[in-house]
Amino acid sequence: MTKGWYGDSNESDLIKAVLEGDKTAFTEIVSRYRKMVARTVKGMLGDSVFAEDIGQEVFIKLYYSLAEFRGESKLSTYIQKIAVNLTLNEIKRKKRFSSMFSQTGNNEMKVIDITVRDSEERNEAKEIVDKALMTLDPKFRIIVAMRMLQGYSTKETAEILDLPLGTVLSRLSRAQEQLRSILDKL
Amino acid sequence: MNRSDIKNFLISSLDADADLNKVNQEMETVNRMYDFSDSFKDRLLEKLFSRGLEINPQIEFLRTISWAFPRIALTGVAAIILLLISIFLMEDTLSFNTILGLSESYDENIISMLTGN
């Protein structure tokens, strides 16, 4: 394989090249999977500067853990797992931080109004999806993001989230109920 | 699709038996909008490989040690063998005393050397 060109290379060739120290191969991995990671991270955290940072952390963690990747699952699944874990950690961190300053105890669901900065580039569907996702409970948000934004099946979602299939199905159903209620208010 | 159709589609996309091909197809335009900023890749590579430079001195040190150790060890072993051969040629024996250079010394000489008497 010519060093420096990996446009048509398969996953294993890319991984091998990265492990041999080829930075161009890693750049190719970033190019291939950045949108997938963006959908997961931004779908769950919203379009914020934190999402960019988490996205960066996903690839940094991938780079340093690639030697441990045994190829038992697809590389995309492995990257998704990293993205989901880091994003959930960030959500927990934010929740802890906000609970330190807010003790209202109001459990009523509020529809979060997201400021749309580049509104001309976004369409209505994106706006609705963003608002709905940001309003959903995080444990449902991840299930919904996996289905709507990544198009994963229940089985794939269960594999990425390390959850039993039954749990994913029940969360999907509860997420649907919550989503219906959120969308009614939009 | 109008606003109400979009909402209905989003709800139905969560059905356990939803047609995933249709979900992907309908969501394609929305999904394409999710991306990081233009500078994402450059910032990432800079962070990654400049981070790499930070740990480079350690890595370089270990790499140098692992490169130099076998060469130094081999040179040492060669020197020891040459020394033993030269001792054997000069003394006709390879006893512990000849290796230590004590073959022609008697105990009395050593004691007088050590005590000064």
Which tens digit of pLDDT belongs to each residue from B88-113? 898 888 888 788 877 666 667 777 77
Per-residue pLDDT of chain A (186 residues; tens, 9 = 90+): 445 567 777 888 889 898 988 889 999 999 999 999 999 999 888 887 789 999 999 999 999 999 888 888 889 999 999 999 999 988 888 777 666 655 544 444 444 444 444 444 457 888 888 889 989 998 899 999 999 888 899 999 999 999 999 999 999 999 999 999 999 887
CA distance A154 to A165: 7
> Is the pTM here over 0.95, yes or no?
no
Burial A89-121 (b: 16+ CB within 10 A, else e): ebbeeeeeeeeeeeeeeeeeeeeeeeeeeeeee
**Domain range list for chain B:** 1-54, 55-117
In chain A, residues with a C-beta closer than 8 Å to the C-beta of B20 are 151-153
Q: With an 8 Å Cβ cutoff, are B36 and A34 in contact?
A: yes
In chain B, residues with a C-beta closer than 8 Å to the C-beta of A127 are none
Residue B95's Cβ-side half-sphere holds a number of Cα atoms within 13 Å equal to 9
Q: With an 8 Å Cβ cutoff, are B36 and A52 in contact?
A: yes
Q: With an 8 Å Cβ cutoff, are A31 and B41 in contact?
A: yes
Check residue A85 and give its pLDDT.
93
Q: What is the DSSP string of A23-72?
A: HHHHHHHHHHHHHHHHHHHHHHH-SSHHHHHHHHHHHHHHHHHGGG--SS
Q: In the numeric block, which tokens belong to residue A154?
A: 């229940």
Task: Please name the residues in contact with B15: beta carbons below 8 A apart, sequence gap of 6 or more.
Answer: A176
Could you identify the residue written with the tokens 């961190």?
A: A93
Determine the residue of chain B that is closest to A165 in CA distance: B16
Q: With an 8 Å Cβ cutoff, are B41 and A175 in contact?
A: no
**B31, B37, B55, B60, best to mutate vs chain A, most A CBs in 10 Å:** B31
- Portion 91-130 of A in contact with B at CB < 8 A: 121-126, 128-129
CA distance B19 to B23: 6
Which tens digit of pLDDT belongs to each residue from A77-92? 999 999 999 999 888 8
ipTM, 2 decimals? 0.75
Q: Is B30 on the interface with A (CB under 8 A)?
A: yes
Q: Which of A31, A132, A151 sits opposite B10 (nearest CB)?
A: A132
